[in-house]
């Protein structure tokens, strides 16, 4: 595939970020994750800290009325200019611009939904069994088993709620993705090879 974008949704501790970086390096393309926050801040002029506070999480009060992403941006003079919804929309704008710009890997932030309908997008979900996620989290973050379990439960719940709020879909539903990979069964390198293989087959 000459022009492509790979989006990677991932469970905490599954190694989705590592797989994304490995894939980007092997393919020689750009990798975007946390830097999406900085780019959205530069695009909007809104402080980067506000984007960080709303990154892949929603306020509890938001659960009353879910709002699917519908594009559109509010002007600096608008009351809701720094609302979480407008922050999401600016980040979505950046994701679309990056996808238009060239081949890349984009991790999280509902990128699969934002770029839906584009034939050159491959949507991946990476997961792993609980024990593997705990082990990976402990090693990566140098934390205890208890803290790793707490983080996995908290962050996966936040990501799930965030995805549901902005897309109306279930984050871990296989129907949202082209490829679902169990990194605890396959290992990171095989996951990378499978994604590369899928890109090749899709290009034929």
**Rounded to 5 degrees, what are φ and ψ at 6?**
-110, 120
d(CA 56, CA 160): 9
Would 184 be classed as within a structural domain? yes
In order, the DSSP letters of 163-194 are HHHHHSS-TT-GGG-SEEEEHHHH-HHHHHHH
Would 119 be classed as within a structural domain? yes
Would 191 be classed as within a structural domain? yes
Work out how many domains the chain is built from and give that number.
Answer: 1
Residue 92 lies in domain: 5-197
Would 94 be classed as within a structural domain? yes
The crossing angle, in degrees rounded to 10, of helices 35-44 and 84-101 is 110
Residue with tokens 């009353």: 64
Would 202 be classed as within a structural domain? no
DSSP type of residue 61:
G
**Has this prediction a pTM greater than 0.75?**
yes
pLDDT in tens, 35-47: 998 998 888 888 8
The CATH number linked to 21 is: 3.40.50.300
Would 204 be classed as within a structural domain? no
pLDDT in tens, 12-31: 999 999 999 999 999 999 99
Would 203 be classed as within a structural domain? no
Q: What is the pLDDT along the chain (204 residues), one digit of tens a residue?
A: 578 999 999 999 999 999 999 999 999 999 999 999 899 888 888 888 888 888 888 875 444 455 666 677 766 767 778 788 888 999 999 999 999 999 999 999 999 999 999 999 999 999 999 999 999 999 999 999 999 999 999 999 999 999 999 999 999 999 999 999 999 999 999 999 999 999 999 888
Q: Count the alpha carbons within 13 Å of 196 in the hemisphere toward its beta carbon.
A: 16
């Amino acid at each position: 595939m000459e022009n492509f974008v790979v989006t990677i949704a991932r469970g905490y501790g599954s190694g989705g970020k590592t797989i994304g970086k490995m894939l980007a390096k092997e393919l020689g393309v750009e990798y975007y994750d946390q830097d999406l926050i900085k780019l959205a801040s530069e695009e909007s002029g809104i402080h980067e800290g506000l984007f960080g506070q709303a990154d892949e999480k929603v306020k509890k009060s938001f659960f009353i009325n879910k709002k699917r992403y519908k594009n559109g941006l509010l002007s600096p003079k608008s009351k809701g200019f720094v609302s979480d919804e407008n922050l999401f929309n600016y980040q979505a704008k950046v994701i679309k611009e990056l996808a238009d710009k060239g081949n890349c890997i984009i991790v999280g932030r509902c990128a699969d939904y934002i770029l839906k309908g584009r034939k050159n997008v491959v949507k991946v979900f990476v997961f792993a069994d609980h024990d593997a996620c705990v082990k990976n989290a402990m090693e990566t973050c140098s934390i205890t088993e208890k803290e790793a379990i707490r983080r996995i439960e908290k962050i996966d719940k936040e990501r799930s709620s965030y995805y549901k709020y902005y897309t109306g879909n279930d984050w871990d539903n296989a129907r949202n993705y082209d490829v679902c990979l169990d990194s605890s069964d396959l290992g990171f390198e095989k996951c990378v090879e499978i994604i590369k293989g899928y890109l090749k087959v899709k290009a034929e």
